[in-house]
């Protein structure tokens, strides 16, 4: 029993350390103040799309009404073998700014590749003319100053990659609010870890990088074995080559909004897909960070079970639980305040309970089982 208690204390100590670092990083992360400027950067916005007939119109309307000079940006949509009316919807938009590519013109649907999304982005980059590549997803939306804000940050900071926030906007019901608060926490950790020069995660729904930088790290070469990872694995490559040149933009105009998953099965499939890419991380420090966080969360239900079974570990369990609740609440309070989502904190306790189970289940399943995403097996 002594060995178990030592292990639990070490895991708890590591959790305290990580979250104090996250809190420090978020507090030290400056808010980006936009400046008046005459933009010079040509931008290519890349959108891989597969079976997005219901959502892509909203995205295209957002992209076509950006407060950025029309002559300085293009929109490249890459249709990934859609089986619905996605193509017809895209073609209904009569705009010189939209360039439609079809992945079938570059590969066959039966070709054995691990990631169609990475291939779609590669094809788009090859056919782009912009100095700055911006990626987003077909089910997203943003305000009219989104692109101008990203470019302003890029021209001032001279960074290789910009990691920008993604939030959920349709928060109706507990399940949607759970997803929203979870994603806000991930955005906070994303910004905090980049501020302390320990790039851990990002989201391809709102990502920007230099076209030349993409080729200087050989794009997705060496990271193509995972069907996901077009965002994080590329960020890790750039962060390794240019330490400190991957930056998070803390500005509400830079937010991209997405919708929550409608069903538990689709949510689990999404998060399993996100988790699966961790096997391809090359930095042992990131792997150790994720492993210790996972083991700490796993130790909570284990401690609860053993306490019920043996009746001797309740103090240890409540100590761990108190540590998690206090640290998570303080951190989320800071992040939700910036994103104007503090109203979600009244759900903190039930969300935390669900979150522990979700981390344990998805963290395990994402590394050992395949999930399905848009009709394809995800590895």
Residue 88 sits in a domain of what CATH number?
3.90.550.10
Tell me: pLDDT of 364 over 60.
yes
Quick check: is 114 in a domain? yes
The reply to whether 6 and 67 lie within a common domain is no
How many domains is the chain built from?
A: 2
**Which alpha helices (H) appear in the chain, and where do they start and end?**
2-28, 56-64, 86-91, 116-126, 146-157, 174-195, 211-216, 232-241, 264-276, 284-310, 314-338, 348-368
Indicate whether 20 and 61 sit together in one domain: no
Same domain membership, residue 308 and residue 211: no
Which run of H or of E encompasses 13?
helix 2-28
Of residues 279 and 249, more confidence is placed in: 249
Q: What is the average per-residue pLDDT within 101-118?
A: 79
> Are residues 232 and 83 both part of a single domain?
yes
Q: Are residues 258 and 359 in the same domain?
A: no
pLDDT of residue 354: 85
Specify the pLDDT at position 112. 61
Structure tokens at 299: 């130790």
Q: Taking residues 44-52, report their average pLDDT.
A: 95
Residue 132: pLDDT band with limits 50, 70, 90: very high
Query: Does residue 138 lie within any of the structural domains?
Result: yes
- Asked whether residue 235 falls in the same domain as residue 350, the answer is no
230 in the same domain as 114:
yes
* Cβ count within 10 A of residue 351: 23
Same domain, 213 and 361: no
Residue 263 is predicted with a pLDDT of 86
Residue 63: per-residue pLDDT: 97
Domain check: are 240 and 93 in the same one? Answer: yes
In a domain, 205, yes or no: yes
Residue 374's pLDDT is what?
62
Q: Which of 203-226 are b and which e, b meaning 16 or more Cβ less than 10 Å from the residue's Cβ? A: bbbbbbbbbebbeebebbeebbeb
Within 8 A by CB and 6+ apart from 199, the residues are 163, 193, 235, 236, 239, 246
CA distance 79 to 61: 18
| Mean pLDDT on 150-174 | 92
CA pair distance 39, 66, nearest whole angstrom: 13
In a domain, 190, yes or no: no
Q: Give the pLDDT confidence score for residue 227 in this predicted structure.
A: 58
> Which residues share a beta bridge with 258?
168
CA 196 from centre of chain: 18
Is 270 a domain residue?
no
In a domain, 158, yes or no: yes
Same domain, 20 and 82: no
Residue 122 included in any domain: yes
Domain that holds residue 290: 2-26+284-365
The number of C-alpha atoms within 13 Å of 136 and in the hemisphere containing its C-beta is: 31
* 76, part of any domain: yes
* Residue 214 and residue 296 in one domain: no
Name the pTM for this structure. Answer: 0.90
pLDDT above 60 for 29:
yes
155 and 39 within one domain: yes
- pLDDT at residue 113, rounded to an integer: 67
CB 78 within 8 A of CB 101: yes
**% residues pLDDT > 70 (the chain):** 91
Cα–Cα distance for residue pair 191/77, rounded to 1 Å: 28
Is the pLDDT reported for residue 378 higher than 60? Answer: no
CA angle at 125 for the pair 202 and 197, rounded to the nearest 5°: 30
Q: How far apart (Å, rounded) are the C-alpha atoms in residues 363 and 330?
A: 24
3 state DSSP class of 345: helix
> What pLDDT digit, counting tens, does each position of 217-271 carry?
999 887 766 656 678 889 999 999 999 999 999 999 999 999 988 888 888 887 7
pLDDT tens sequence across 326-358:
999 999 999 999 999 999 999 999 888 888 888
């Amino acid at each position: 029993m002594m060995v178990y208690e030592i292990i639990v204390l070490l895991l708890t100590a590591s959790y305290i350390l990580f979250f104090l670092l996250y809190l420090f990083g978020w507090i030290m992360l400056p808010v980006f103040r936009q400046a008046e400027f005459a933009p010079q950067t040509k931008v290519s916005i890349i959108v891989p799309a597969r079976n997005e007939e219901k959502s892509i119109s909203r995205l295209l309307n957002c992209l076509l009404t950006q407060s950025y000079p029309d002559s300085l940006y293009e929109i490249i949509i890459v249709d990934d073998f859609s089986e619905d009316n996605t193509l017809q919807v895209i073609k209904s938009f009569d705009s010189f700014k939209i360039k439609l590519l079809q992945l079938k013109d570059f590969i066959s649907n039966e070709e054995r590749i691990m990631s169609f999304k990475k291939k779609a982005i590669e094809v788009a980059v090859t056919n782009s003319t912009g100095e700055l590549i911006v990626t987003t997803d077909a089910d997203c939306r943003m305000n009219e100053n989104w692109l101008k804000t990203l470019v302003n940050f890029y021209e001032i900071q001279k960074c290789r990659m910009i990691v920008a926030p993604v939030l959920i906007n349709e928060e109706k019901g507990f399940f949607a609010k759970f997803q929203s608060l979870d994603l806000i926490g991930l955005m906070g950790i994303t910004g905090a870890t980049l501020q302390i020069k320990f790039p851990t995660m990002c989201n391809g729904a709102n990502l920007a990088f230099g076209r030349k930088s993409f080729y200087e790290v050989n794009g997705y070469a060496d990271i193509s074995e995972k069907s996901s990872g077009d965002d994080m694995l590329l960020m890790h490559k750039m962060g390794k080559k240019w330490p400190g040149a991957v930056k998070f933009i803390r500005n509400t105009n830079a937010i991209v909004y997405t919708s929550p998953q409608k069903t538990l099965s689709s949510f689990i499939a999404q998060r399993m897909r996100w988790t699966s890419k961790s096997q391809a991380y090359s930095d042992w420090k990131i792997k150790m960070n994720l492993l210790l966080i996972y083991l700490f969360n796993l130790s909570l239900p284990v401690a609860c079970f053993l306490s019920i079974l043996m009746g001797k570990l309740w103090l240890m369990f409540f100590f761990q639980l108190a540590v998690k609740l206090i640290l998570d609440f303080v951190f989320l309070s800071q992040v939700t305040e910036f994103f104007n989502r503090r109203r979600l904190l009244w759900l903190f306790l039930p969300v935390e309970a669900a979150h522990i189970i979700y981390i344990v289940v998805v963290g395990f399943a994402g590394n050992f089982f395949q999930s399905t995403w848009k009709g394809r097996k995800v590895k």
